[in-house]
Amino acid sequence: EPLESLIEQYCTTRGYRYVYGTAGFRDDSEKLDTVMFATGIVACLRSQVLNGKPVGVMITASHNPSGDNGVKVVEPDGSMLIQSWESTATELANLLANRPLEDIKAKVGQLTSGESSVRPQLIVGRDSRVSGPHLLSCLVASATSLFDAKITDYGLLTTPQLHFLTNETMITGAHVDEQAYFAHFLGAWDQIAALQPVKLPNVVVDCANGIGGPKMSALLTQWGFAKQCSVINDKCDEPELLNHGCGADFVKTSQRLPNGVKPNANDLYCSFDGDADRVVFYYLDQNLGFHLLDGDKISTLFAYFVAKLLKQCKLDSILSMGVVQTAYANGSSTKYLQDNLQVPVSCTKTGVKHLHHEAVNNYDIGIYFEANGHGTVMFSNKFHETVTNHADQTPELKILKYLAKLINQTVGDAISDMMAVLAVLSILQWSPSRWDREFTDLPNKLTKVVVSDRSAFTTTDQERRLVSPAGLQDKIDEAVARIKSGRSFVRASGTEDAVRVYAEAATQSEKDQLSSIVGDLVR
């Protein structure tokens, strides 16, 4: 098709400003046609630069309401698009959405007339949103018409499945069936279960009425543990229910049970988000009081467990292990890791890609989780060489090896994280309350303040301190100094038009006091 008619047909959402942010482009789905057309070009160029390796494209808006959607690009190794290309994506989307047709034609012509004879390869998937198929068609239009790209469309996938399948395609150089994803993680589970019989409470999985529902059902048809595991909020064909009163974000922010749960003091519960790339756990005590086991509790559980195994295998002086958190990690979790477990802790900016890089670059076993449940554990090549070549293949060593397979190595994955947490709890023979008892969270509060211009709020020190507006950080410091175990920071949201205020303190009332003082300072 001539370029001009393609642009007229697909670049129909105009006059908006777009940013490829922490998790790609994300917006009201009605505004995204042009973005999708632009992303098709960016993903193809990325694949060409990488000599035709498969580049992943995921269409999702994660925990956002069902009317939103978004898109992110995935590197051939399953990691997030490298940062230097994010600005390329932002610039191209804004050019297509805001410049006159002549300029667009010139730019697209220049990008696609390239000398490259490499045929790009894209691996695409989407979550359950109704806008997904139409948005995909806008992406396919640029990728096929301008690049003759080879596209493998998996249809409905969770985000971590797309990351995993992109990486597998690169490794095998051939088509990979979706079943390979399930076979990989179930294989690791079975290897662990063969060493140590599974002993667990009943598990209830809230799938946020998103794509996690059908994927969990597919898993359960093949999982030895299925009899004890039930799935709720799995109506992904009822769009208005997506992330509504359920899911990881709802449970973490409201600290209560999602819709559709039958309260039972002996069960372990977990909630995924809409695209199943994050998970939080919770349980009810004998009085049916609610207890959250969030990303901080998950990373400390893995740190405790892996440290113990490394010691048993006498590998603790050979392999380094560390935990990566963000400023949102509860102060108690950081103290527990450093003081009780003697594990090094680093802090990065919010957003999975920052934690991921820190974990990979600094440790042989890099555990990273955001408090909201995004995260995984990364195992280095040195780890794999060491455990493979170790003379003493004890059950503990094998468990370490299989754990490294059970945890998704491309990105945080609700399904794989859930299986890994269950395996660890089963081996330790810990109940949910035993897990919870390792440390007690300091009371904390996260609030959202709408301001006239959130870009005025710039930060330093991994978002823990404000650089601007001038003088505000000094006032926050003064307020914090007056509160026992007080900590507070302010940062502009990367996904919403608001500023977030975090406060924690020794008591509920001091936490409320600090939160309201800092909130007022921001307003």
Q: Which residues bind ligand 16G (CB under 6 A)?
A: 22-23, 62, 350-352, 370, 372, 374, 493-496, 500
Residue type, 69: N
Classify residue 226 by its DSSP letter.
G
Query: 235 with 274: CB under 8 angstroms?
Result: no
Q: How far is the CB of 274 from ligand 16G (least distance, A)?
A: 11
Candidate list 47, 62, 145, 416, residue with the active-site label: 62
Cβ partners under 8 Å of residue 85, min gap 6: 42, 46, 73
**Could you give the 3-state DSSP secondary structure of residue 300?**
helix
Q: How far is the CB of 41 from ligand 16G (least distance, A)?
A: 22
Query: 1 with 145: CB under 8 angstroms?
Result: yes
Q: How far is the CB of 280 from ligand 16G (least distance, A)?
A: 13
Q: How far is the CB of 496 from ligand 16G (least distance, A)?
A: 5
Q: How far is the CB of 271 from ligand 16G (least distance, A)?
A: 15
Query: 88 with 4: CB under 8 angstroms?
Result: no
Q: In terms of CB distance, is 56 or 351 closer to ligand 16G?
A: 351
How far apart (Å, rounded) are the C-alpha atoms in residues 518 and 491?
Answer: 12
Token pair for 279: 């998970």
Q: In terms of CB distance, is 23 or 517 closer to ligand 16G?
A: 23
Q: Strands 203-206 and 229-232, how do they pair? A: parallel
Classify residue 243 by its DSSP letter.
T
Q: In terms of CB distance, is 259 or 495 closer to ligand 16G?
A: 495
Q: In terms of CB distance, is 281 or 369 closer to ligand 16G?
A: 369
How is 27-75 classified by DSSP, letter by letter? Answer: EEGGG-HHHHHHHHHHHHHHHHHTTT-EEEEEE--TTS-TTEEEEEEE-
Q: In terms of CB distance, is 357 or 511 closer to ligand 16G?
A: 357
Peptide linkage before 54 cis (omega within 30 of 0): no
- The CA angle 171-177-179, to the nearest 5 degrees, is 110
Q: How far is the CB of 351 from ligand 16G (least distance, A)?
A: 4
- The CA angle 319-434-310, to the nearest 5 degrees, is 10
Query: 498 with 480: CB under 8 angstroms?
Result: no
Token pair for 209: 């009425």
Q: In terms of CB distance, is 89 or 231 closer to ligand 16G?
A: 89
Q: How far is the CB of 162 from ligand 16G (least distance, A)?
A: 12
Q: In terms of CB distance, is 27 or 364 closer to ligand 16G?
A: 27
Q: In terms of CB distance, is 23 or 146 closer to ligand 16G?
A: 23
Token pair for 48: 């060409």
Residue whose pair of structure tokens reads 């909630």 in the numeric block: 271
Sort 440 into a burial class: Cβ within 10 Å, 0-12 / 13-18 / 19+. Answer: exposed
Peptide linkage before 469 cis (omega within 30 of 0): yes
Tell me the torsion sign for CA atoms 267, 415, 349, 25. negative
How is 375-425 classified by DSSP, letter by letter? Answer: EEEEE-HHHHHHHHH-S---HHHHHHHHHHHHS-SSS--HHHHHHHHHHHH
Query: 93 with 14: CB under 8 angstroms?
Result: no
Helix (H) or strand (E) holding 520: helix 508-522
Q: How far is the CB of 78 from ligand 16G (least distance, A)?
A: 13
Q: How far is the CB of 348 from ligand 16G (least distance, A)?
A: 11
Q: In terms of CB distance, is 270 or 310 closer to ligand 16G?
A: 270
Is 62 among the catalytic positions? yes
Annotated catalytic sites, by residue?
Answer: 62
